[in-house]
Amino acid sequence: MSNLILRSPVDGWCGPLDEVPDEVFSGRMLGDGVAIDPMGAAVFAPCDGELIVVPASKHAVTIRALNGAEVLIHVGVDTVNLRGEGFETHVKQGDHVKTGDRLISFDLDLIARAAKSAITPIIVANGDRFRIASGVSNRAVSVGDELLQLISLGTAEAVQSTSAQTAARTFIVELEHGVHARPAAMFANGAKKFASTITVQAHGRKANGKSAVSLMSLRIRFGDEALVEAIGPDAGQAVAVLEALIVAAGKASVTNPKLRSQSAPGSGSNRAVSVAQLPSSSGALVGSGTGEALPATPFTSGSIKGVCASAGLVVGEAFHLARPEIFVEEVGQGASFEATELDRAHATVKSSLQRRIDTSHGAERSVAEAHLEFIDDPELIQAAQEAVSQGKSAGFAWKQAILRHVNLLNEADDARIRERVDDLRDLETQVLLAIAGEAKTHPLHIPQHAIVLARELMPSQLSELDATKLAGICTAAGGPTSHVAILAAAMGVPALVAAGPTVLAVPNGTRLVLDADSGVLHVDPAAAELRKVEKTLVARRARRAAEQAIAQRDCRTADGHRIEIFANVGALADAHAAIAEGAEGCGLLRTEFLFLDRQTPPDEDVQAEQYQAIAAVFAPRPVVIRTLDIGGDKPIPYLPLPHEENPALGLRGVRTSLWRMDLLHTQLRAVLKVRPLGQCKLLLPMITGVTEVRAIRAALDDVRKEVGLTSSIEIGVMIETPASAVIADQLIHEADFLSIGTNDLTQYTLAMDRSHPELAAQLDALHPAVLRLIATAAKAGRAQNKVVAVCGGLASDPIAAPILIGLGVTELSAIASVIPRLKTLIASLALDECRDIANRALGQSSAPAVRELLRECMVTKTGAPA
């Protein structure tokens, strides 16, 4: 018999392979066939034949029909990670079976919960000998229904080598789950690219290296020794490439290798570049592309500490993702050719960035704009061009130019500047991929509820992930103010960074609880812990719904006193989010977002356009615009500041503005362009004396007269130093309102660097010394019947609200996501109650004592943290 009818091996819904959420199957790397979403709990033989592969993990079988067709039935996706749990086999390898015999029983509920997908591919693995003539699709099938009709293409003939060249190599297999379907398909596809006959030997048996099924039949496991042998004209190259492929797959989960060799000049692919993509989904440990050693054994359970980059609590499964490994040759093919290749790749990436800017908004657009600035950096381009002129390849020249800039940024004292290194590395990857002709056109595939684990994540990678499937992010490196952190927060995706290399040892598919609020990743938590988290999430959703309803109303205490709740904003996208969360205005617009990640300062029109757009979102609510808070610990490249031994005590805030009056005048003109005039107010950072306020007011009057305005706008003073708090009674006569920046006020009061890792736990704005300075400023405001606000981090800590209100603060400007909870809490408080708590707090001896007092007082309050 040459032709064959295959019967459905399972009950379920039959669809095309394209629906399988795994590129090995959907890309037909193992062969063609169909996919069935099972509704039963058993697999039956689709034809008469011999079972040639029954893996120890019990999740799949391969049957060789009487006519030689090899049929793989793979229950679910990534079910090899279950290590046999939920599966029972009724046959063994070598058994002869009849159509309809029971082969495997499985727990469908467990697979649905624990695996990437329950969709079951049915694959004709030796498609070189058989063609699918007809088949069913997009309908329900039952066991025994006709599924596929196969037509024989004749007996396959062995490849005849045109050379007597032979090569062989022995290696140790380091794949965690051995050579199962995915790595077998990878190897076979790689082998098919060579003319030579390729065999693999293990356990005293041989297999055709170009047949995935044949490879799986060897049952090669982790730690086994295997021999790759090739005979033919390209035997040496074949063995070298295939050994590298399988070894790399074990050590770094290189699951989709695309090793690019020589190509003709002008083809859009530079021979000096080769790429190995790393979108791991195999369960092996993932390399980072940086040479960092990975943990030797999987981290299977316990907790990993990290730094919160985007708050939230989520349950999901581990999915490793890494940067592509990109290898470049140093010597080019001639300066003219390499210069053309560099220009082409540069233009390709630049065009891609411009498309993202044109089609995105908010944080994603801001990041793309920053990348566009970086890639057009004249020094970066010049450095790459000079290297090309000296005979280097385009890829090598670009990597060296990027490295030079990376080293410069790594020397910066400011963590935010150092975190721009990730953006440069992202651009390095994008351009090198473009040189290699590997510019990405498809989104990265991830499973449902994926918690992405990586050494570091590039902004371009994050933007390519399916946001509907992404549950969370945890990276070994990175920082909380990186562009990835900003994007994650904008997407509402919980994220931890700086969790250390241990996170790279968590096996794919492991159940995780990402508690970004507490800065912890829980690996494979117990069932009881999972139930507890699920209950917490249900309660949070219910509480969130109730808080959202309250957030849309004006904020008042339980006894009717008005407390305005504003939002801190750092970009247009933040403004939209703030309004959605119930913000009653913008209490702090950080204008630095316009000045950072640029090579030249933004002009008047650029600033005015952004200020107007944000004001329009808040209209008619007020918008408080802080003048440029740059300098000292926040340098910008086009503003060379003198060297300072202690930047935090040098040129920063308003001091920098008065030093560079040209920048100040441009910003003031831009603010005065916003309509309606008066909606926007100015806020002056780092004020320490009345002369600074008078100088800014004089500058504002000059600009106002210059543009022909007869009326002015309000000016507020930030209380960020002990000096400004102590003389708040003087400053309030010069200002229209006060706004307390508790972050710097705490740092300067306690003489602790807020970026010092060893002191972070002690740097608490609820320290009684800081509270007494806040009380002094609030008293000065009350005496003149002027608003005293808090816009620093303490305003975003709901537990502090009773104290701040009790001290006389009437406006809190917080991060948008906290506003509903903050309003809900305040609605439960009476003013006299807050005053009593505040007075008691001032008498405490430490910040922990203040927090304990608050916990005792608020334990019965709805929404208050216990």
- Catalytic, 483? Answer yes
Q: How far apart are CA 64 and CA 22, in angstroms?
A: 24
Residue 269 and residue 263 in contact, taking contact as beta carbons nearer than 8 Å = yes
First to last CA, the chain: 75
DSSP string computed for 524-547: S--HHHHHHHHHHHHHHHHHHHHH
> Considering all CA atoms of the chain, what is the largest pairwise distance in Å, rounded to the nearest integer?
101
Contacts for 20 with CB less than 8 Å, ≥ 6 apart = 26, 35, 77, 117, 119, 121
Task: Quote the tokens at residue 418.
Answer: 């150092």
Closest CA to 215 of 53, 15, 431: 53
Among the listed residues 483, 680, 767, 857, the single catalytic one is 483
Reduced to 3 states, what is the DSSP secondary structure of residue 45? coil
Sequence-ordered alpha helix ranges (H) in 198-267? 212-217, 235-252
What amino acid occupies position 542? A
Could you list the beta-strand ranges (E) of 211-310. 225-231, 256-258, 273-277, 302-305, 307-310
**Residue corresponding to tokens 């030249």:** 600
Burial of 243 (0-12, 13-18, 19+ CB in 10 A): middle
Cβ neighbours of 99 (radius 10 Å): 16
Among the listed residues 308, 586, 680, 791, the single catalytic one is 791
Contacts for 812 with CB less than 8 Å, ≥ 6 apart = 563, 564, 565, 566, 587, 789, 790, 795, 801, 804, 822
Q: How far apart are CA 623 and CA 681, in angstroms?
A: 6
DSSP conformational letter for 146: E
DSSP conformational letter for 190: H
Angle at 103 between CA 97 and CA 109, to 5 degrees: 165
Per DSSP bridges, beta strands 325-328 and 623-626 are unpaired
Reduced to 3 states, what is the DSSP secondary structure of residue 812? strand
> Could you tell me the CA-to-CA distances from 49 to 6, 68, 93, 621 in Å, in that order?
11, 9, 12, 76
Contacts for 28 with CB less than 8 Å, ≥ 6 apart = 17
> Could you tell me the CA-to-CA distances from 778 to 118, 684, 790 in Å, in that order?
61, 17, 10
Catalytic positions: 483, 791
